[in-house]
Amino acid sequence: MSQYAGRFGRRSASASSRLRLHRRPRRVAMLSVHTSPLHQPGTGDAGGMNVYIVELAQCLAAINIEVEIFTRATTASLPPTVELAPGVLVRHVDAGPYEGLAKEELPAQLCAFTHGVMQAWAGHRPGYYDLVHSHYWLSGHVGWLAAQRWGAPLVHAMHTMAKVKNANLADGDNPEPPARVIGETQIVSAADRLIANTAEEAGELVRHYDADPARVAVVHPGVNLERFRPADGRAAARARLGLPQDALIPLFAGRIQPLKAPDVLLRAVAVLLDERPELRSRMVVPVVGGPSGSGLAKPEGLQKLAARLGVADVVRFRPPVGQEQLADWFRAASVLVMPSYSESFGLVAIEAQATGTPVLAAAVGGLPVAVRDGETGFLVQGHDPAGYARVLRAFADQPHLAAELGAKAARHARAFGWNASAAATADVYTAATQAHRRRVRSPHG
């Protein structure tokens, strides 16, 4: 655990209950500029953050905190507002061309997006939004301005950080620009509270961005335990997906881009099959997801790599799927493989474990929190394919390993329900509100 763990712990139950008695916000403006909660995770820029926002908003609404999510309109046919769930409203804001706008081009549209947010606010009474919660640095800049204009507290979640990503770049990947580093630094200074997924991420905010430790709160993301559960087991899931019952199935699920390193899995499979060619007849390697980010520069690059490595016959490329079918892919797998170069948490690791599937992951970011090494899966230092091949060989040679680790993984994941995440987030909102009121009363200290 990070050296900062003691400084960013969760509050005690008694402290939490006291906080809830004080001015918990009734309505939150949640900002997600570059990706809509209505988008399919695994496509374009949609990923774990989309799931995070949807699940968190719904659980906040269930404890009587209304949420309005502002996101950029990406097609002309979208209605101005969509009710995602009771108490959760999605507002589509016109800002720039609907389609064909890369995430890197969005900073130029922040003024237009802010204008759209302000237009929505202008139709309400003063004090309509009690708090602003922004996600990712682009939203943080809009949130900073909105919170100042409304006289409301600002809570911000980074999700990923430029300095951390740049320190852990995959070969050939593009570094994040200096403008993002400057923007993140400004948001860290402006926010009343920063939400970090793990103590390690909280420490990174302090080390890299000089965040005030007193303003950083650790709230682990959650998992939808009703959707992601063992259900009727591995055999039934494989039957539904047309997968062989006796196969070794290492699964990659996520956006296809260098940061997520699906190539490491393919290279590990090639190493394993070179050593153990007899495994070829009983191995299936599903890659579920679509190109994203810098991966869009070579949308067929992974398929070509599989062919060059001589593993195209065992790899099955599948497009992104909805959450229900994704749960089935997790159940069907022998192990989920996450060789990422950077992960603030790694939501799919908890989702897979909740279905009873162990995880093989890089020991980076929040993954050592999400995965208990040797108990619910395995963590590998670095990105050498041979290291991943060794673990896959263990799954091939020990048929009961997946089930044994999977049972422990499902128990581990039960501690990560979204209800707990929402309750902890509500506590952060209350603390941010109190801090904001103190600052307004004493602006010079």
DSSP string for 366-400: THHHHS-BTTTEEEESS--HHHHHHHHHHHHH-TT
Establish whether 167 is an annotated binding residue.
no
Total residue count of the chain as it appears in this document? 445
Establish whether 136 is an annotated binding residue.
yes
Copy the structure tokens of residue 387: 């290291």
Establish whether 333 is an annotated binding residue.
yes
Establish whether 34 is an annotated binding residue.
yes
Establish whether 45 is an annotated binding residue.
yes
Establish whether 226 is an annotated binding residue.
no
Establish whether 68 is an annotated binding residue.
no
**H or E element that contains 106:** none
Pairing of strands 359-362, 377-380: parallel
Copy the structure tokens of residue 101: 């706008």
Adjacency order of strands within the sheet including 335-338 = 315-318, 285-288, 250-253, 335-338, 359-362, 377-380
Residues β-bridged to residue 90: 69, 82
Establish whether 393 is an annotated binding residue.
no
Copy the structure tokens of residue 70: 């502002």
DSSP string for 107-129: GGGHHHHHHHHHHHHHTS-TT--
Neighbours of 153 (CB within 10 A): 25
Copy the structure tokens of residue 268: 């590990």
Establish whether 75 is an annotated binding residue.
no
* Residues 55, 59, 61, 67, CA torsion sign: negative
Establish whether 212 is an annotated binding residue.
no
Establish whether 324 is an annotated binding residue.
no
CB-neighbour burial class of residue 443 (10 A; exposed 0-12, middle 13-18, buried 19+): exposed
Establish whether 255 is an annotated binding residue.
yes
Establish whether 180 is an annotated binding residue.
yes
Establish whether 343 is an annotated binding residue.
yes
Q: Tell me how far CA of residue 70 lies from CA of 94, 103, 119, 387, 418, in angstroms.
A: 10, 16, 12, 43, 21
Q: Which residues have C-beta within 8 Å of that of residue 386, sequence separation ≥ 6?
A: 268, 271
Decide: 209 and 188 in contact? Cβ < 8 Å.
Answer: yes
Q: Tell me how far CA of residue 75 lies from CA of 28, 97, 319, 367, in angstroms.
A: 25, 9, 21, 35
Q: Closest by alpha carbon to 255, among 47, 6, 438, 5?
A: 47
Decide: 352 and 371 in contact? Cβ < 8 Å.
Answer: no
The annotation places the binding site for UDP-N-acetyl-alpha-D-glucosamine at 40-41, 48, 255, 260, 321, 343, 351
The annotation places the binding site at 34, 40-41, 45-50, 103, 136, 160, 180, 255, 260, 321, 330-331, 333, 343, 351, 357
The annotation places the binding site for 1D-myo-inositol 3-phosphate at 34, 45-50, 103, 136, 160, 180
The annotation places the binding site for Mg(2+) at 330-331, 333, 357
